[in-house]
Structure 1
Amino acid sequence: MIRKIFLIVPLIIFSISANGQGKITEELKKNADAIILEDRQVFNIIDDGHAVFQQTMKVMILNKSGKKYSVMGTSYDPLTPIKEFEVKILGPGEKKARKFKSSEIKDVSYVSNFSVFEDDRIKYVDPEITTFPTIVEFSYEQEFDGLFIYPSWSPMAGENLSVLQSTFEVHTPQNFPLQIDSQHVNKHNVSLVNGRTVHEWKIENVSSIKGREKLAPSLISNFPRVKIAPRTFTYENTKGELDSWSSFGEWIVGLNEESDDLPASTISEIRALTSKASTNLEKAQIVYQYVQDKVRYVSIQLGIGGFQPMKASLVDEKSYGDCKALSFYTHSLMKAVGVKSHYALVKAGDSNYSIKESFISSQFNHVILCLPEIDQDTVWLECTSQSAPFGYLGDFTGNRKALLIDKGQSHLVNTTNYLSDDNSFERSTKINVSGTNLSSASLETVAKAKGYQYDRFSYWVKLTEKERRETFLKRYGLMTSELIHLNIELNKQYPSPSVDVDFLLQVNEYAKTFEEGGMYPIYPYADEYSLPKRYRSRTQPFEIKYPYTDSDTLYFNLTEGVELKEMPADIFIDKDFGKYRLSFEKVNEQQIKVLRILTMNKGIYPAELYSQYYLFWKKVLSNDHQKFWISKVEKNEQSLDN
């Protein structure tokens, strides 16, 4: 993982301070759990390598739900020491705020979910609040020796938080090159004070945004925010420029050059392993498997190591490394066997995060590897996984921009673009209806999951047989059924890896039976899907995170003595966000074929379309829960037919 620099990131990223600079209106209280009364943040840039940050804030906690906004603190490391730190609290009816003692301030190591080795620490206070409203005050000062990432101003930390007043000042030397990216902030003043340039942003009387509605995208895009970045910087005795993505890449190239020291013995070993490979694709696959077998992922966030990979020789010796180290190690191995590859920075995680291309800055948190010339194609490798198929990224790093590091010409490129047909789940099921017991049926099924849907099932292979069976039956709502056979295999074949599933299931009480016949569900997997929450007055857009297609082909095999007299009508629904098709075919007297295809389109859709989205799913589920009427055929009827 790429180093996270917590410049001014309190545990809750919001700001507060003051004795009522303005009036708290009913509008500010509406839907609010807390109100930022006053906040002032000042970032004083001395030069391209040194700065001082100061913040004073005051927040009013209105109720129990607002307590999350009372946690005050910030992170630091050896390059960003905290010089002053003070927290006070004022309860209802109290006249003087109580200052927290040094013994009440917690100072702990910051070990994230990603990192094992970090030099970041967190200093914070988590007040015990039982009465409301309570006011919490916070102030601190922090110095910076080395600047690559500048602090951003996000005065609204989250939902149900109002702001009475918040300001952000950036003081720079005259003509200091500063990049600015802002949203939902109209007041930006620039002035000259004592020979220095002062930028000031301010918001006042901003009402809270209510809690996120189901399926709504992140609310961050609705909050006021200002991001700043340098054009030139000094960090840990290195200098760099951010006037283009190419210059950004040059700094990374310089950091990486020191790590390119793969041992001669390892070079000989990997060349021997690939000596019989006839193509670069074969060589690359051998190298990737070698890396997966040899090393494991351990995140390291120490000093400039948060941006610079470990030396390839050290990864080779220790058999571990973080995303930077493992990607560069793989790059070194590819280089040793003559396969061209590029180190690439990417923002992993939320697939709807978009790189701001005009704002040249570190917008990345992960490193992957790009092979640009493999069998007339581009292959992307996730080097931190010991189990990912060759060339598979999935939704963690697929469908987004990455910064391709290439000496003299680093640039933004697209990673693998997974479309709905790529993210497919195809399933074929034989449903064998018994003439002697119409209440049950056997299901013989084979299925294949690809693209993003690969991850829906790939973890199943790691489960015990008991866990796998329980997970399977619960997933399909078939806990009363008898699972006779279940097999799951990972097919990692490039370029289209899949999870292959086959099973045999005896479903008890599959049909509701009567003397004359039975009502049979046409789609045994209807419980895989659920109806989205209904909103009578939707206010927020909704999001489909990735495109996908689910395709089912079902064959109802009827034995002698039963028949289907009436075929349901075909259904087709076509909307901007998705399509649904359900069709029926009578193959012969003993077999009915049902085809069901559901395709959903990735996107963020306006709130006005949500009612259509809800009705779409209501119709889908209604049709999925249809039933066949399968009749018993009397013996005399059969003889007349004969």
Structure 2
Amino acid sequence: MKKTIYLSSLLLFISFCAVSQGNYDASKIPDNLKQDAVAVVRSEEQFYEYKSISSGMVKYKTVITILSKAGDNYAEFAESYDRFSNIYNIKASLYDATGKKIKDYKSSDLKDQSLISSYSILEDSRIKSLTFSSNSYPYTIEYSYTQDFNGILTLPSWRSLKGYHISTEKSTYIFQKNNSLNVRFLTSKDLKTDSTSTNNKTTYTWIANNVPATTREPLSSGLEDITSWVKIAPNQFEFDSSKGDLSTWNSMGAWISKLNENGDELPATTKSMIQNLIKDATTDEEKMQILYRYLQQNTRYVSVQLGIGGFKPILAEKVAQVNYGDCKALSNYMKALLKEAGIKSNLVVIGNGKPELNSAYASIGQANHMILVVPSAKDSIFLECTSQNYPMGYIGYDNADRNVLMITENGGKLIRTPKYRSIDNYQVRKTNIQLSEDGIATIAVKSTYGSAQYEDNLSNLFLEPAEVRKIALQNLGFADAELQHIKFEQTDKKIPVINEEISYKTKQLLSKGADKFFLIINQINRKENIPEKVTNRKTDFAIPFDYSDDDEIIYTLPKGLAVEFLPKDVRISSEFGEYSASFSMTGNTITYKRNQVMNSKKFPAARYNEYVDFYKKIYQADKLKAVLTKI
């Protein structure tokens, strides 16, 4: 019986691969697949056999035609492996534009190297890679391989498009499992799933044909809304001698909790040090501030990806000795510090910069990061333990406003991280501009950035002064700008706020026509271009985060110059945001006030041109001019 099952699976894959055999002549690619494409997947065939909770095998083959130099990034074979998997039976070939084979690559052409990243010191992943090259376009690459797994935490996913600017002629994913194994599927809307059962095995098939390329669109929320895709997650699993259940977020949290069992014990010397640090603190918040600052000043982030170490933190006792760790280790160490101070906290699994955890579908692949939370019925405090600079409680906009998994003694519990609103992500700017009789403008600007806008400016605190000046001059927009002073500082390390001061001179503020002078009043925070409209846009869009900008500019005019015309006040309202600008004059001063508030919610593709129209109105309002005349 086992032999029969093996032969049937083998025959299935042989017939499955036969689809791609034949002519790779690039001229036979349909015109609609060439439009907006730098490469075309002629054929992609993935067969995965899920054998047990700890073992599986994938057979993969693809044929890709590279249409132009811009598509060379797709002319590469690169697959990672580790001590729980191996890659073999690698075959690769190169074809010319007519489909004639130019070269078969040998195993000696492959690179096999460590996958250790720049921020990692312990990692057992390796990569086998091959870069195809051709001096003429189009050309076609073909490669195939087999990979075995002896530890299963995730199962291969599939989607009909590999990325932007690459179309698909045909792509097929066949997933076969023993009927004793339980898995869960998450698929795109209207994706057809074919399934058959025989010899105690069930086979699922997904196919995509003739999928045109999609261009990368501004503010896109991604391809997932417009492509066909499937994700598969195991229920029970075994990996690196650890068994668990991933069928729910609660059971996944229970497994992670067990991995961390007794992992938050500290050495006696560290406990004594903690007690000494917090001896004068009178509140839990004071204790947390002291210990979080201690963590930032005495540890550094490194990645550790060794087997189960990719999920199990280094013991807090070890971190206390070596003063480094990955996100899991540092979060767990902070947990241990707080525990010694009598403060309860919980580890949190999160998808940093990824879509939020799907409440109806638990899987390891949705998360890539760990933080910490001190839970409270009213205001829980989240801690990003890998940052040496964030204030306590600020976790960054990539971690904000999303479902995350809190690890408790009773398993995992989905909770939500804080949302940074527009009033949190603020920029407040006060500018004084002194105009002299000879046309020189002396400009002094004081800005304050909060939360997400603090985060965007944080790097300025650590750049060399020469680099800060260089960037500032590039951003001023005046070729003759004479930079006199610039300073960034975070005066209160407890809050996510940065202050900036900059002063400079320029002669390019006024333009002259006949006996008049023209002054664009918004000289500091101005929209300099309008996004292009997109015909037949496909992807939904969103502004990265809510924010608000408040600007005030006060102009002092020299003797002999008067205002002949000031623009009228402007107010623009939309679901995308709000904008207002006001203009007033008292004596020899012009006061300009501008406020813009933007919303980061997701909008459908069909509304993008409406967003462009809104943006155009702001652009036009930012260009309004005053007319000055000599007296």
TM-score by length of 2: 0.90
SS at match of 1:448: strand
SS at match of 1:367: strand
Residue 508 (structure 1) shift: 2.5
Match of 1:414 in 2: 416
Q: Are the aligned partners of 1:216 and 1:543 in contact in 2 as well (CA < 8 Å)?
A: yes
User: For each residue in 1:121-171, what CA deviation from the matched residue of structure 2 results, as whole angstroms up to 9, or x when unmatched?
Assistant: 111221222344434322211111111111112342113333333222222
Match of 1:366 in 2: 369
Residues 561 and 265 (structure 1), Cα distance of their counterparts in 2 relative to 1, 3 Å cut: same
Residues 253 and 368 (structure 1), Cα distance of their counterparts in 2 relative to 1, 3 Å cut: same
Give the AA of the match of 2:212.
S
Residue 450 (structure 1) shift: 0.2
Residues 176 and 446 (structure 1), Cα distance of their counterparts in 2 relative to 1, 3 Å cut: same
Residue 455 (structure 1) shift: 2.0
Q: Work out the CA distance in 2 between the residues paired with 1:537 and 1:390.
A: 45
What pairs up with 1:29-428 in 2 under 5 angstroms?
29-92=34-97, 98-183=103-188, 186-203=191-208, 205-350=209-354, 353-362=355-364, 363-373=366-376, 376-428=378-430
Residue 536 (structure 1) shift: 5.7
Give the AA of the match of 2:428.
E
Residue 525 (structure 1) shift: 1.3
What pairs up with 1:427-438 in 2 under 5 angstroms?
427-434=429-436, 436-437=437-438
SS at match of 1:395: coil
Match of 1:455 in 2: 455
SS at match of 2:455: helix
RMSD of aligned residue pairs (Cα, Å): 2.5
Q: Work out the CA distance in 1 between the residues paired with 2:237 and 2:539.
A: 40
Q: Work out the CA distance in 2 between the residues paired with 1:381 and 1:259.
A: 19
Residue 262 (structure 1) shift: 1.3
Q: Work out the CA distance in 1 between the residues paired with 2:536 and 2:433.
A: 42
Residue 464 (structure 1) shift: 2.6
Residues 82 and 514 (structure 1), Cα distance of their counterparts in 2 relative to 1, 3 Å cut: closer
Q: Work out the CA distance in 2 between the residues paired with 1:31 and 1:529.
A: 28
Residue 120 (structure 1) shift: 0.8
Give the AA of the match of 1:275.
K
Q: Work out the CA distance in 2 between the residues paired with 1:183 and 1:198.
A: 19
Q: Which runs of 5+ in 2 are unaligned?
A: 1-16
State the number of aligned residues: 611
Match of 2:607 in 1: 609
SS at match of 1:159: coil
User: For each residue in 1:45-65, what CA deviation from the matched residue of structure 2 results, as whole angstroms up to 9, or x when unmatched?
Assistant: 221111122223333334433
Give the AA of the match of 1:459.
S
Give the AA of the match of 1:53.
V
Q: Work out the CA distance in 2 between the residues paired with 1:24 and 1:477.
A: 47
Match of 1:636 in 2: none
Residue 537 (structure 1) shift: 5.7
SS at match of 1:206: strand
1:567 aligns with 2:602: no
Match of 2:629 in 1: 631
Q: Are the aligned partners of 2:226 and 2:538 in contact in 1 as well (CA < 8 Å)?
A: no
1:445 aligns with 2:445: yes
User: For each residue in 1:195-241, what CA deviation from the matched residue of structure 2 results, as whole angstroms up to 9, or x when unmatched?
Assistant: 212222222x2222232123333224322211100111111111111
**Any runs of at least 4 consecutive aligned residues in structure 1 with deviations exceeding 6 A, and if so which?**
none
Q: Are the aligned partners of 2:425 and 2:547 in contact in 1 as well (CA < 8 Å)?
A: yes
User: For each residue in 1:541-570, what CA deviation from the matched residue of structure 2 results, as whole angstroms up to 9, or x when unmatched?
Assistant: 443111111110122234554432433211
Q: Are the aligned partners of 1:440 and 1:511 in contact in 2 as well (CA < 8 Å)?
A: no
1:582 aligns with 2:584: no
Q: Work out the CA distance in 1 between the residues paired with 2:412 and 2:467.
A: 47
Residues 258 and 88 (structure 1), Cα distance of their counterparts in 2 relative to 1, 3 Å cut: farther
Q: Work out the CA distance in 2 between the residues paired with 1:118 and 1:238.
A: 19
Residues 17 and 157 (structure 1), Cα distance of their counterparts in 2 relative to 1, 3 Å cut: farther
User: For each residue in 1:278-326, what CA deviation from the matched residue of structure 2 results, as whole angstroms up to 9, or x when unmatched?
Assistant: 1111000000010111011111111111111111111111111111111
Q: Are the aligned partners of 2:160 and 2:211 in contact in 1 as well (CA < 8 Å)?
A: no
Residue 517 (structure 1) shift: 5.9
Residues 92 and 487 (structure 1), Cα distance of their counterparts in 2 relative to 1, 3 Å cut: closer
Q: Work out the CA distance in 1 between the residues paired with 2:108 and 2:69.
A: 25
Q: Are the aligned partners of 1:323 and 1:367 in contact in 2 as well (CA < 8 Å)?
A: yes
Give the AA of the match of 1:145.
N
Residue 331 (structure 1) shift: 0.7
Give the AA of the match of 2:566.
M
Q: In terms of mean alpha carbon deviation, does 336-345 or 84-93 score higher?
A: 84-93
Residue 597 (structure 1) shift: 0.5
Q: Work out the CA distance in 1 between the residues paired with 2:81 and 2:18.
A: 20
Q: Work out the CA distance in 1 between the residues paired with 2:169 and 2:477.
A: 50
User: For each residue in 1:512-559, what CA deviation from the matched residue of structure 2 results, as whole angstroms up to 9, or x when unmatched?
Assistant: 357856333311115564322344664544431111111101222345
Residue 409 (structure 1) shift: 4.2
Residue 251 (structure 1) shift: 0.7
Q: Work out the CA distance in 2 between the residues paired with 1:104 and 1:514.
A: 68
Q: Work out the CA distance in 1 between the residues paired with 2:468 and 2:37.
A: 45
Match of 2:9 in 1: none
Residues 416 and 529 (structure 1), Cα distance of their counterparts in 2 relative to 1, 3 Å cut: farther
Q: Work out the CA distance in 2 between the residues paired with 1:69 and 1:354.
A: 28
Q: In terms of mean alpha carbon deviation, does 288-297 or 412-421 score higher?
A: 412-421
Q: Are the aligned partners of 2:579 and 2:596 in contact in 1 as well (CA < 8 Å)?
A: yes
Match of 1:510 in 2: 509
Q: Work out the CA distance in 2 between the residues paired with 1:497 and 1:221.
A: 34
Give the AA of the match of 1:335.
K
Q: Work out the CA distance in 2 between the residues paired with 1:290 and 1:125.
A: 46
TM-score by length of 1: 0.89
Residues 98 and 507 (structure 1), Cα distance of their counterparts in 2 relative to 1, 3 Å cut: closer
SS at match of 1:618: helix
Q: Work out the CA distance in 2 between the residues paired with 1:261 and 1:213.
A: 50
Residues 58 and 311 (structure 1), Cα distance of their counterparts in 2 relative to 1, 3 Å cut: same
Residue 98 (structure 1) shift: 4.1
SS at match of 2:568: coil
Give the AA of the match of 1:370.
V
Residues 16 and 87 (structure 1), Cα distance of their counterparts in 2 relative to 1, 3 Å cut: farther
Residues 40 and 540 (structure 1), Cα distance of their counterparts in 2 relative to 1, 3 Å cut: closer
Give the AA of the match of 1:327.
S
Match of 1:12 in 2: none
Residues 28 and 589 (structure 1), Cα distance of their counterparts in 2 relative to 1, 3 Å cut: closer
Residue 621 (structure 1) shift: 2.3
User: For each residue in 1:460-491, what CA deviation from the matched residue of structure 2 results, as whole angstroms up to 9, or x when unmatched?
Assistant: 12223332223223212134233333232113
Q: Work out the CA distance in 2 between the residues paired with 1:216 and 1:111.
A: 31
